Every structure is written in C-alpha cells, then in structure tokens.
Amino acid sequence: MNLTWDKRAREVAYLLNPAFCGEVIRRCIEAYQQTARQSMPFPLIFLILPIVLHKSTRETMPRTARGHMYSWLQENPHIKVGFAQRARNLIQVSKEAQTFLMQFNTLTVDVQAELSVSRRRRPRIPALEQGEVSDCFKKAELLGKWFANAGSSITIYTMWGVKP
C-alpha cells in the first residue's frame, strides 16, 4: 500500500488515517509500557494494526489479557491465515501513524530502537467510547499487555508466523 493520499480510495484513506491508526498504536504501546514497565521494542509496531484492525481477529480476541497470546493463537490457528499479507499491506500505514505520533511528540524512539509514549491527558470524546472504534482501542490495549508478557520481538513474530 505505497500509495500517495490522492491515489488511495477515499474509503481506505478515511479508515486508515494516521490519527486513528496512531491512536490504536499509542494505546497498545502505553499498555505495553504499563505492563512491562519498559519501552516497547520497535519491530512490534508493525504487528499492531494488522492484528487490531482485522475484524475477525479482533472479534476472536478475549475481553481481558488474563490468558496468554500463545495459548490463544494455539486455540485459534485460523487467525494466522493471511496475516503475513495483511502485515505487509499495512507497513506504510503503520509508518504514517508513527510519523504522525512523533510530529505531536506523543511517540519517541530511543537509541535502542524502543518506543515510548508520553502520558497526555486525552479529551473525552463520547462518540469514541462505543462501537467498533472503541473495540479497536480496547483490543489495542489488550494486545499491548499480551506483547509485554509474550517474550522478545522475535518470539512474538514467530508466534504469528512472520519474520521481522
């Protein structure tokens, strides 16, 4: 998906805009930081959107992070079908969201290539507290907790059947 904005279908540009995708990524990283008490490894940024934005994957995810990601993937092997292609397709979108977050000083990358988000007070927007958008945000937070407890980036990529 290396298309400039004027070449993208309007629906794709609206749904995969940097502000929304950035918020999904930000919530995932923040949950990772709170759980692991450290910054998130950079390579994981490219797994967030293909997991959270894929509706059937998102709907299959549990409500809480009590279980382990590995166990969930073992119980739901169909989740990995087509994942590698989805991940490839969303690389550019992930990069755009990362750039957006960095422009607003919300995301930093340190010299060890680890990601941190600043703690900022988010305005309460009632429209975002329900429906599919809210579900994406909640699952991004769950994913951040799972990532924090799943091991190294290489281990997580291996669980998903892709290479960094």
Tens digit of pLDDT at every position of the chain (164 positions): 555 666 767 766 667 899 999 999 999 999 999 999 999 999 999 999 999 999 999 999 999 988 899 999 999 999 999 999 999 999 999 999 999 999 999 999 999 999 999 876 565 566 556 788 999 999 999 999 999 999 999 999 999 999 88
Q: What does the block give as tokens for 51? A: 């997991």
Question: How many domains are there within the chain?
Answer: 1
Position 124 scores a pLDDT of 59
For residues 40 and 22, give the distance between their C-alpha atoms in angstroms, rounded to a whole number: 15
How many angstroms from the chain centroid is the CA of residue 124?
21
For residues 17 and 93, give the distance between their C-alpha atoms in angstroms, rounded to a whole number: 8
Q: Which of 46, 38, 25, 22 is nearest to 114 (CA)?
A: 38
Q: How many residues does the chain have?
A: 164
Position 118 scores a pLDDT of 85
Look up the pTM and report it.
0.90
Q: Is 18 left (phi over 0), alpha (psi -120 to 50) or beta?
A: alpha
Q: Is 130 left (phi over 0), alpha (psi -120 to 50) or beta?
A: beta
Q: What residues form DSSP beta bridges with 109?
A: 115
Position 131 scores a pLDDT of 85
For residues 28 and 146, give the distance between their C-alpha atoms in angstroms, rounded to a whole number: 10
Position 135 scores a pLDDT of 94
Position 106 scores a pLDDT of 92
Pair 116, 39: CB distance under 8 Å: yes
Domain range for 94 is 5-160
Position 137 scores a pLDDT of 94
Q: Which of 19, 39, 20 is nearest to 31 (CA)?
A: 39
